[in-house]
Amino acid sequence: MELTNNLSEKALYYKVVKRAITGDEQAYAELFKRYKDSVYFMILKMVNNRTDAEDLMFEAFEKAFTSLNYYSPQFAFSTWLFKIASNNTIDFIRKKKAKIVSLDKDDINPDDRGYINSVPADVLNPEEETIRKQRAEFMREKVAMLKGRYRKLIELRYFEEYSYEEIAQELAIPLGTVKAQLFRARELLLNILQNSEIARENERV
């Protein structure tokens, strides 16, 4: 029975992934809602820091959503997503230790090389680029719903890729304030994404 349930869940979320690949905004919200906690706690075990874990969780979803064209159904979506999150977190830890900047392929389990080999280095075709822009636009629309400072913090951190220190300097506020307000901004953004999914469910009733 458990195996059947797992297969059913895999099939269900593959349908959601296919919707997301075509640019369905609500599919992003469904995937985020379904996997955010699992991804967060996996990362938290690796970094042992809630602020970093929150940050890395959002980064993992951003990377996954902008790379959906490279997802292969031969892997469970959750496995693919967790691998992205894990690799990104390992890279973060190595950068933080100032030893190795990029993830060495030799550190990847041979069973997981399909993830790397399935990602071509060439430029996306026009259709794929359009879908990718739609995904980015979806996230920007949700971020735009944040007010004032919270919106600016998210934009600087995730769209402009500023470090915490650079944000503090840009906004002329203490580093501790940046971290505290970014944590609150992420909570608000999460609520917006979840409410998007609730609205979709209400439309189905």
- Spell out the CATH class of 2-126: mainly alpha
pLDDT of the residue at 132: 61
What 3-state class would DSSP assign to 195?
helix
The mean pLDDT value of the chain amounts to 75
Q: What angle do CA 50, 102, 165 make, to 5 degrees?
A: 45
- Spell out the CATH class of 145-205: mainly alpha
- HEC string of 82-121? HHHHHHHHHHHHHHHHCCCCCCCHHHCCHHHHHHHHCCCC
Query: Where, residue-wise, is CATH 1.10.10.10 in the chain?
Result: 145-205
Give me the mean pLDDT over the 185-193 stretch: 80
pLDDT per residue as tens digits for the range 79-91: 999 999 999 999 8
pLDDT per residue as tens digits for the range 91-115: 888 887 754 444 444 454 544 444 4
Give me the mean pLDDT over the 64-78 stretch: 83
What burial class does residue 188 get, using C-beta atoms within 10 Å of its C-beta: 0-12 exposed, 13-18 middle, 19+ buried? middle
**Residue 11 CA to its chain's centroid (Å):** 21
Q: Evaluate whether 142 touches 193 at the Cβ level (below 8 Å).
A: yes
Query: Where, residue-wise, is CATH 1.10.1740.10 in the chain?
Result: 2-126
Give me the mean pLDDT over the 114-119 stretch: 44
**Single pTM value for the model:** 0.59
pLDDT of the residue at 39: 94
Close Cβ partners of 192 (under 8 Å, ≥ 6 residues apart): 142, 145, 146
Q: 62 pLDDT band (50/70/90 cuts)?
A: confident
pLDDT of the residue at 98: 55
